[in-house]
Amino acid sequence: MRRPQAILAFEGWNDAADSATGSVRYLVEQFQLTEPFAAIDPEEFYDFQAHRPHVKIDDGGTRSLSWPMTRFFAAEVPDGDRDLILVIGDEPSFRWKTYSRHVTQVLVENDVENAVLLGAFIGRVSHNARVPVVGVATDPDLVTDLGLMTSSYEGPTGIVGVLLEACREVGLPTLSFWAATPHYLAGNPNPKAMLALTRTVRDALDIKVDLDRLDTLANEFIERVESALETSGELRDYVTELDVADDTTVLNPGASAELLGEIEDFLRDQPDR
């Protein structure tokens, strides 16, 4: 591959509203990739009661199992001078250090020159506002050069944080982009956050990607949310307060549980309809 760059995302704690994995899946579709060139066998790394394999039936009626496997896709970028490796998987249950070494080994052996790890967290933000994207990097100057919000978060982390450190250890320059998603929409895939992450990584890596379809999905998503809010004046007022507050201090990945509790308390206090 030509001076490859890597983009990685993982389902689980790092992936609020499927925003990070949704972004990478969109790129996989855009480059029309179907078969990975490498995969990490899941046997060592997953609790299959928590990450159960899925049964699939093809058009001929044949059943097959799909395991929670980490897959590496190679994308040739015809309009650029650098190619891409796209990685998507589930956050592992066990042996995170060994798992991270496997991931970085594949990247290093394929001469990846730099990488981007995508994540998303639940924040006290509105669906109407521009999606805040927070940057973390092995070299802080990389975040400053892109003009992204920085993070001072300290606390529990997911596999994205562990992989960022693993990339640092092997000398691979790595950025991590985190999108903040509305806590009152935490149970829904968020195309608007997917679009923000995809646009950010496109600009950071200087790759050409058609975002029209994702932009359409994001607009349709906002329309559905607005329609749903019309049925609840109280929730509409709550969202309006978020629009007015515009408080960036609430962008804390560690506050997800607190924010979910807040919206659950709000909904519980509403009269039955």
pLDDT of amino acid 263: 46
Tens digit of each residue's pLDDT, the chain (273 residues): 999 999 999 999 899 999 999 999 999 999 999 999 999 999 999 999 988 888 988 877 788 888 888 999 999 998 888 999 999 999 999 999 999 999 999 999 999 999 999 999 988 888 888 888 888 887 777 777 777 777 767 778 899 999 999 999 999 999 999 998 988 887 789 999 999 999 999 999 999 999 999 999 999 998 888 887 777 667 777 777 776 665 544 445 444 445 445 444 544 454 444
Global pTM reads 0.85
Fold of 5-268: Rossmann fold (3.40.50)
pLDDT of amino acid 259: 47
Alpha carbon of 56 to those of 25, 33, 36, 59, 62: distances in Å? 19, 20, 19, 10, 8
pLDDT tens by residue, 227-239: 877 776 677 777 7
Where are the domains positioned within the chain?
5-268
